[in-house]
Structure 1
Amino acid sequence: MRKVVIGLFAILAGTSFAMAADTGCDAFKWPVEREQALFPEAPAAQSGATLTVGEAVDLTLAAVDTVPFQVPPQRAPAAGTFGATANVTVPPEGDLQLSLSDEAWVDVVQDGKTVKSAAFSGVKTCPGIRKSVRFKLAGGAAIIQVSGAKKADLKLAVLTPE
């Protein structure tokens, strides 16, 4: 009887450890290890900055009602929240992955129009990374619009999908 109880405990403990791993960063639909490596050393950037694909920044946000968005955000930001814009050159392949450290809405504007995201993954239990959004874009200039953030700064990684 004792061996059965010990064996059952080992099975249950193993299951709970596996479930715990799935509730953190592993719960994203795709890997976020690059963001985890980039965010701690992300240099400061202001709204309107030009960002480089493959890097992350610690973006200073402004009161959302003072940010000159090229087009209105797809989700209307609540009063008292923060936002920013940034420029980026999309690689010729056109795939872009934007990851944020905190809750906020992110749009990408190209040719004066908001581009619908191709995929989204959000996890509340991953320390330092809240969401990651993928876009299929044309190569060339684009504007990243962040809005609805509850804090005046957040980290933003601009990557190509793995």
Structure 2
Amino acid sequence: MSPALLLPLLLAAAPLPPQDAAVAADASCATTRPAWPAGLETWGTREPLAAGASARNAPVIVIGRAAELRLVALDRVTVAAPPARAVEPGTSAGLALFQVTEPGTYRVALGAPAWIDVVRAGRTLPSVAHGHGPMCTGIRKIVDFRLTPGRYVLQLTGAQATALPVMIARSRRAAA
């Protein structure tokens, strides 16, 4: 068989990444335009980024820009603070830094399951809301945090996937 004919067959047979499986399973997603949550409209355009194994080598995620974060084995990660939830051995984890310039509520969106901690000065911060992304967006989980200006560590643990779509955005909803 010629390579020109073989390539489309190989691409069609390739498994979908875990974060897109739910979208692909819903046939209506093929003809539906996703309803993007406010601030997460650029979710579909992700920059590849290697997660840090510690806060010292963690990359910077720019608020409002999505990333495809390549995680590392949990046993290779030095967490910035003890995770607020126990994590299973053999899972993936990673750290990234982000800078907040204005006080407000910020959303962390993920495309696959993982535990989210936002850490500042060695302490995990409480979340103020949890939810899921709308159908057909590929957003699996959204967690909101009230933050003040400063530098933070995004700590992801307990992921089954080795790459994780992630985005941090300022919420446009009024803070309660």
Shorter-chain TM-score category?
Answer: 0.7 to 0.9
Distance in 2 (CA, whole Å) between partners of 1:104 and 1:125 is 19
**2:49 is matched with which residue?**
45
Q: How does 1:1-162 map to 2 (within 5 A)?
A: 32=37, 34-35=39-40, 37-47=41-51, 48-122=58-132, 126-162=136-172
TM-score by length of 1: 0.75
SS of the residue aligned with 1:80? coil
SS of the residue aligned with 2:63? coil
Query: Relative to structure 1, is the Cα distance of residues 137 and 100 closer, same or farther in structure 2, using a 3 angstrom cutoff?
Result: same
SS of the residue aligned with 2:155? strand
Aligned 8 A contact 2:132 2:141 in 1: yes
CA shift for structure 1 position 87: 0.4
CA shift for structure 1 position 75: 0.9
CA shift for structure 1 position 123: 5.6
Aligned 8 A contact 2:95 2:155 in 1: yes
- After TM superposition, the runs of 4+ consecutive aligned structure 1 residues lying more than 4 A away are 123-127
Distance in 2 (CA, whole Å) between partners of 1:106 and 1:150 is 14
Structure of greater Rg: 1
Distance in 2 (CA, whole Å) between partners of 1:43 and 1:130 is 18
Q: Percent of aligned pairs with the same residue? A: 29
Structure 2 gaps of 5+ residues are 1-27, 29-33, 52-57
TM-score by length of 2: 0.69
Let me know the Cα RMSD of the aligned residues. Answer: 2.2
Q: How many residue pairs were aligned? A: 135
Aligned 8 A contact 2:38 2:171 in 1: no
Structure 1 gaps of 5+ residues are 1-19
Distance in 1 (CA, whole Å) between partners of 2:170 and 2:79 is 24
SS of the residue aligned with 1:40? coil
CA shift for structure 1 position 142: 0.5
Aligned 8 A contact 2:67 2:166 in 1: yes
CA shift for structure 1 position 65: 1.4
Aligned 8 A contact 2:37 2:134 in 1: no
Distance in 2 (CA, whole Å) between partners of 1:86 and 1:68 is 12
SS of the residue aligned with 2:168? strand
SS of the residue aligned with 1:65? helix
